[in-house]
Structure 1
Amino acid sequence: MAGKIKVMIIDDSALVRQVVSQALSRDPGIEVIATASDPVFAIDKLRQAWPDVFIVDIEMPRMDGISFLRKVMTERPTPVIICSSLAENGAQATFDAMAAGAVTIITKPKAALKSFLEDASNDIVQAVRTAARANLRALPRPGTGNLTVNPFHRPKLSADAVIAPGAPTAMAKTTEQLIAIGTSTGGTQALEAVLTRLPATCLGIVIVQHMPEKFTAMFAERLNGLCDIEVREARDGDRVMPGRALIAPGGRHMMLKRSGAQYLVEVVDGPLVNRHKPSVDVLFRSVAKFAGSNALGIIMTGMGDDGARGLQEMHAAGARTIAQDEASCVVFGMPREAIKLGAADEVMGLERIPEAMMAYTRSAS
């Protein structure tokens, strides 16, 4: 993008508008061209200048953020960052906002807001830079949105913090095989596009989608109603079996375990890995360790590099590995980092991934 990234902030909190504006203005590559206390004021200002990125609250007077977002995505699609509290009673509203096509969520607390925003200033800048590069053409509308949480003020630990590296303990090639998927920004639409095209005969699937607590169950339930396969939020001890996709719960890590010839998932607490919980690296390392060549690993659209090293470990353990290509990604972060590491056997567009999964399923039978 040539020139500065132009940002408009729409939030009924004067404090949020002030602190976020100050944080962004310290970056020479970003310019806050306007702020507004609600979307109606914003619409007046948009007649003079249109931003490259919006930062929008949900609950505002006169027009809510969801209605404004839908208007923007219909009339002039532009990257939108949702800046909202994720209180339980607001979870559905936030989910609806992301379903309308927002790129990511900034979670803001109800208390100590000023200090939080100041501490997270570097991450706010990074969120804007990432949103400005988002490929909105890869966002199907209507869709399920890009429900991911921007990982503000989080330490970047590796998978070592949850699961130790070590020699693979996977059995030789068996008929008990599985597919592991990791994704983030743009992943909710990508997963819908993939899972709705799979028959019930598909191998068992384990999935990490970066998503906050309270949202994964809602997301899994929605997909379950659209798919031939069973889709559900994973519970500790769930068996990985054909025709079933298990989505790691928000706020918990999910790992693969082996019990005899069967594969189960273990859902555990633990520190953030690559600033995420659940982490793709944690899942992929466990798949490398306990499934080895009995697995297919797929890394899809998402910001950052979570999953890249885990996919490399799966590749080294004999698994087949796929990365989504840049053209079909909303954000080509995670797949790009995996490709740079040489972790992907093949790079392909989103539309080819379901058939690749079924081809792998047929080869396993």
Structure 2
Amino acid sequence: MSITIREIAKLANVSIGTVSRVLNNKETGYTEETKAKVLDVVKRYDYIPNSAARALSTQSTKTLGCIIPDICNPFFPELARGIEDMAGSHGYHIFLCNTDLDAQKEESYVYTLLERQVDGLLFASSTATTPKNITRIQKVNKPIILLDACMHDEAIPHVYIDNCFGVYTATKHLIEKGHTSIAFITGSMNLSTSKERLRGYKMALEEAGLPIQEQLITEGDYTVEGGFRAMELLHLQSYTGLIASNDLMAYGVYKYARTQGIRIPEDLSVIGFDNLSFSQIIDPPLTTVSQPAYELGQYAAEMLIKCLQGMDTPSYHLYKPTLIVRESVK
């Protein structure tokens, strides 16, 4: 049986209240010498605190919930790593939930996280039920941070990428290289991220006086397979440049190009979005829009922790992505 707080107090020759303050990281009520004595006993007897009892006394579980849409997309593990590193540096643990963009899974995870009494939530997923799920979180007064513009609600703090600007920059780059016929593979059009990236594409074309050719716009799903299928739909169209709404779909474009004998960039110039680590080692290295997933996760976690500490935080934080020019554009 694990040692109790009462026994720790007796062995360290301090009061039970002092042990409690040390274990709960209270900043006052004991000296550094006393703290060292208590922690020495804790270490020697391998004491494991009762988190449920601690939560009752402190009104905090020191846990945060993080809901993401697709753990298979390398962008989101990097985002989650930034969240976890920042949370860990402040003594918080993370419950990571992957929805696979499934509304039922998202709703189930929200219930589970609230049942586990997480102190706050970071929400990056987006389904048809997301607004209802967020309202449910707000009703129990749990602070929430929206990530990557999973939905638009100015009343909720959010951290996101300027998706419109990112694709605008990519499209403008192709235009400056002489391309006048540019295809675009969107993500799921149920997502605000996808809508903003499409808006950036159209904005750059209009600014350059080029027509928007709807037959060159096709919907993908942010997967390699989605990029491949989109290329099958575009195969009868004529274009020299293509932008995929994320790097995974750009990889699908590469895969399709190989099956058809299409050379990149000699026959087709390709740009992705995300700047995943694989994008610099595929052949040819992919020109892509870089968004700082790790930094985004760090900043969002820091915002949430500040909310929990009662500190003022900005209502939003916008990251400007940058174009990384490599060898996939002629």
Task: Please report the TM-score for the alignment, with normalisation by the length of structure 1.
Answer: 0.30
Q: Going by fraction, where is helix more abundant, 1 or 2?
A: 2
Task: Please report the TM-score for the alignment, with normalisation by the length of structure 2.
Answer: 0.33
Higher gyration radius (CA): 2
Higher relative contact order (CA 8 A, sep 6+): 2
